[in-house]
Amino acid sequence: MGIRTLIVMGLLTDQCIDHTIKDAADRGYRVVCLEDACQAITPERHGHALACFQGYAALMSVAAFEGVLASYPSTTS
């Protein structure tokens, strides 16, 4: 399908998101984690999971991601 980049967000940062990011990276995808659109049971677990994503995913806020999307030309006329 030509998909090269995955944008990941959701629950739980230290479980489902962790496995999704690492599996996707291992399969050759570029992965971006929207860090403020994920949550774990505690802020500490969330923070530890984000730290573990080093080398697997780029971390980005939703606002920064919106800025990236806004820089792309519109596909509608």
Domains along the chain with CATH numbers = 5-70 (3.40.50.850)
Q: How confident is the model at residue 7 (pLDDT cuts 50, 70, 90)?
A: very high
pTM: 0.87
Q: DSSP assignment of the chain, as one string?
A: ----EEEEEEE-IIIIIHHHHHHHHHTT-EEEEEEEEEE-SSHHHHHHHHHHTTTT-EEE-HHHHHHHHHTSPPS--
Chain segment 42-67, per-residue pLDDT in tens = 999 999 999 999 999 999 999 999 99
Q: What mean pLDDT, rounded, does the chain reach?
A: 94
